[in-house]
Amino acid sequence: MDVKVMIRKAERQDVPLLLHLVKTAREHRCGRMEWMSLDWNKTANDFYRSLGAVPIDDCTVYRLDAAAIELLSTEVV
């Protein structure tokens, strides 16, 4: 399926933002763009792959919740 067709079919508010970010990245000569998408979101993941994006398998996302932030902020390193 053609990328332009996928974008039209996506009917999302984030498509114009994504395209703006792509153009900005090109203008700034960025070597890559990265973002997160939940594994269960097949529609989004298929869309991103149709644009040529590839998932990063050797990466793990970490999160500190509010309690961990509070606890860690009081630690003396």
Structure-token match 């269960």, residue found: 40
Q: Give the confidence band of 31 by pLDDT, cuts at 50, 70, 90.
A: very high
One-letter identity of residue 10: A
**56 pLDDT above the threshold of 60:** yes
User: In one letter, which amino acid is 23?
Assistant: K
Cα(58)–Cα(67) distance, rounded to whole angstroms? 28
**Mean pLDDT for all residues in the chain:** 84
**Predicted pLDDT of residue 66:** 93
> How far apart are the C-alpha atoms of 50 and 62, rounded to whole Å?
27
Whole-number Å distance between alpha carbons of 16 and 59: 27
C-alpha Rg value of the chain to the nearest Å? 17
For the stretch 13-25, pLDDT in tens is: 678 888 899 999 9
Nearest CA among 44, 34, 37 for reference residue 13: 44
Residue 7: pLDDT above 90? Answer: no
Domains of the chain: 3-73 (3.40.630.30)
